Amino acid sequence: MSSSGPLRVGMVGYAFMGAAHSHAWRTASRFFDLPLVPELTALAGRNAVAARTAADRMGWSSVETDWRRLIERDDIDLIDICTPGDTHAQIAIAALEAGKHVLCEKPLANSVPEAEAMTAAAERAAADGVMAMCGFTYRRTPALALFKQMIANGEVGTIRQVRAQYLQDWLSDENAPLTWRMDKEKAGSGALGDIGAHIIDASQFVTGQQITGVSALMETFVARRPLGGDLVGLGGRGQVGEDVPSGPVTVDDAAVFTARFDGGPIGVFEATRFALGRRNALRLEVNGSLGSIAFDFEDMNTLQYYDGTNEPGRQGFRRILVTEPEHPYVSHWWPAGHGLGYEHGFTHQVVDLVTAIGSGEQPTPSFADALGVQRVLAAVEASAGNNSTWQFVDG
């Protein structure tokens, strides 16, 4: 592949993540100098009419109704997977074996064995210059990238504690309809995999350390929900109204766990979709021997930094506005003080992936990195299913 030519993308799926990824593929080369220019070549979806409508709206040149056709096409260089977790392994492995680069949404798979198979396929493909990356986009938030830099620079000293939360409230209404995200066969898990995976990755990313063991508790607050959206075919009645067809919720609504990192710190984690008033509060705080850093995605352009080396009477958290050109990614956007938004993380993801492909270097997070997160998710489930017994993370 030419280092100055196009990168022809085929994307599978076109809902929430598909829209975010489409925006990023369209935008990246307009603000960043890239070694390859992404082209929105083809979009795949099972419903031809819906896929065509989405493709026209989001700028894709052609449509397929079977993801296998994308992989067979000679005019596709990269497969972008934006589907539920139960399809990730099949699509990714087939794409890699066909010599296509792969970007796969998180969590990598619905189980550790699937993630292991995907990682093995990625490692085989890498020998031929074919790259694979998992989409943990919060890493690309400038403030979190700065968070990592500050820890690496020693600005908190020795890390002692990590606390991480991902709080949402979109399922707090017990009459919210059942969707694939509440079906274990499709999603793998609920709040744990959907949003808990993000805080696991973010904590390991900023600290540079890995979680080695957990003690967990998981809860499903609403056992049945009215049928709607994409699970109308499940059938059944009860608990949400005698005349309202309903189906079972087979995943967790909330997950909490304590953890230990390989460098010695302890951690406390919480993921829930029932925190009323919290729309998308990914929060991360690290406390060290010299200072503390805190981040909340609902105030995504700032960090809170406490410098414990300041003299008494001058200590306190100070706010760092992460909009200066010296900050990660920011120089390619707006003047200082003009904040970025949720969509920019996906653009930065494209930038990092395309840059890595152009240079022949392995992008991060790799499938191996994402497998590490998958193993933590599995350990959390195992611990929660065994009365919060301490569970070591395999691998």
75-88 pLDDT tens trace:
999 999 999 999 99
pLDDT, residue 1, reads 36
Distance CA 11, CA 41 (A): 8
**Per 3-state DSSP, what percentage of the chain is helix, strand, and coil (rounded to 5)?**
35, 25, 40
In terms of residue numbers, what domain contains 167? 139-340
Which pLDDT tens digit goes with each residue over 24-79? 999 999 999 999 999 999 999 999 999 999 999 999 999 999 999 999 999 999 99
Kindly state whether residue 351 falls inside one of the protein's structural domains: no
- The reported pTM is 0.95
Q: Are residue 106 and residue 238 in the same domain, yes or no?
A: no
pLDDT higher than 70, residue 236: no
In CATH, what number is assigned to the domain containing residue 280? Answer: 3.30.360.10
Q: Are residue 198 and residue 264 in the same domain, yes or no?
A: yes
* Domain stop point among 135, 156, 173: 135
What residues pair up with 258 in beta bridges, in sequence order?
A: 215, 268
Kindly state whether residue 367 falls inside one of the protein's structural domains: no
Kindly state whether residue 192 falls inside one of the protein's structural domains: yes
Q: What is the CA radius of gyration of the chain?
A: 21
Q: Are residue 146 and residue 127 in the same domain, yes or no?
A: no
* Domain stop point among 340, 360, 378: 340
Structure letter (DSSP) for residue 194 = I
Nearest to 25 by CA among 42, 6, 15, 39: 39
Distance CA 255, CA 220 (A): 9
- Do residues 381 and 184 lie in contact, with contact meaning Cβ atoms separated by under 8 Å? no
Kindly state whether residue 148 falls inside one of the protein's structural domains: yes
Which pLDDT tens digit goes with each residue over 135-164? 999 999 999 999 999 999 999 999 999 999
Distance CA 364, CA 353 (A): 8
pLDDT tier at 230, thresholds 50, 70, 90: low
Number of domains in the chain: 2
